Chains A and B, each alone.
Chain A
């Protein structure tokens, strides 16, 4: 059974460019989460969706960041324009929300470097 799939695994771009990170959640899961991991700030929740609807985007750093989930099997996190301080590992996670404690399953991450 495939886990959470993220692409690309590595992205190197120049400041000012647009970056799009992609995520395919586990089939059947109805919640999706985007996290950012840095040495300085650790793991931060950026945004999460339930049934494709954004529920909480309070962790999104600023307007340069946007996330979409057009259907149950795909989500994107876009940074436009990118800045060097956006360099981090971005994780996508998914879970099945059934009213009990949800276990989040993480993808392998996208390592983003903005020069």
Chain B
């Protein structure tokens, strides 16, 4: 079945460092891809999404590009802030509404 694999965390960075969180997927069709963020004590919030190959999703300085050839959707940010500390989930949707989530990657940003 469909699956999403994320890099293990936690990822620990200093403020203003560059961030990359790797995400790869396995799917039989042409899924849509998502990054969700979960701040402590809260539910998941959509961060960005891409619906077809070569699409780039972006929001709040975060970006991810849908790479069909490498089945990847890596999350990047050029300069992280302390407020970006959270758990980030990569997910795919096969078009039938069900989201398949990765295990999540915790990001810790120190001042």
Binding site for B on A (CB under 8 A): 4, 31, 33, 42-43, 45, 48, 50, 55-56, 91, 93, 95, 97, 100-109
Chain A contacts of B45 at CB under 8 A? 106
Give Cα A113 to B103, complex, Å. Answer: 22
B83-111 interface bits toward A, Cβ cutoff 8 Å, 1 = contact, 0 = none: 00000010001010111011110000000
Docked pose: A106 CA to B104 CA in angstroms: 16
A sample of 28 cross-chain residue pairs with beta-carbon separation below 8 angstroms, ordered by A number, consists of: A4-B43, A33-B99, A42-B101, A42-B104, A43-B89, A43-B104, A45-B99, A48-B97, A48-B98, A50-B97, A55-B97, A56-B98, A91-B43, A93-B43, A95-B97, A100-B51, A101-B32, A101-B95, A102-B97, A103-B46, A103-B49, A104-B46, A105-B46, A106-B36, A106-B43, A106-B44, A108-B42, A109-B42
Question: Helix, strand, loop or mixed for chain A's interface?
Answer: strand
Residues of B within 8 A of A (CB): 32, 36, 41-46, 49, 51, 89, 93, 95, 97-99, 101-104
Given A106-B45, A108-B43, CB of A45 within 8 Å of CB of B98: yes
A104–B32 CA distance with the chains assembled, in angstroms: 13
A43-B89, A91-B44, A108-B42 known; A101 and B51 CB under 8 Å?
A: yes
Question: Can you name the residue of chain A whose Cβ is closest to the Cβ of B98?
Answer: A45
A109 vs B41: C-alpha distance in the bound complex, in angstroms?
Answer: 8
Question: With the chains together, A102 CA to B93 CA distance in Å?
Answer: 9
Do A101 and B43 have beta carbons less than 8 Å apart?
Answer: no
Cβ of A100: which chain B residues have Cβ within 8 Å of it? 51
B40 to chain A, nearest CB (A): 11
CB distance from A41 to the nearest CB of B (A): 9
- Closest chain-A Cβ to B69's Cβ sits at a distance in Å of 21
B residues in contact with A105, CB < 8 Å = 46
Chain B, Cβ-Cβ closest to A50: B97
Query: Once the chains are docked, how many angstroms separate the CA of A101 from the CA of B97?
Result: 8
Q: Are B43 and A42 in contact (CB under 8 A)?
A: no
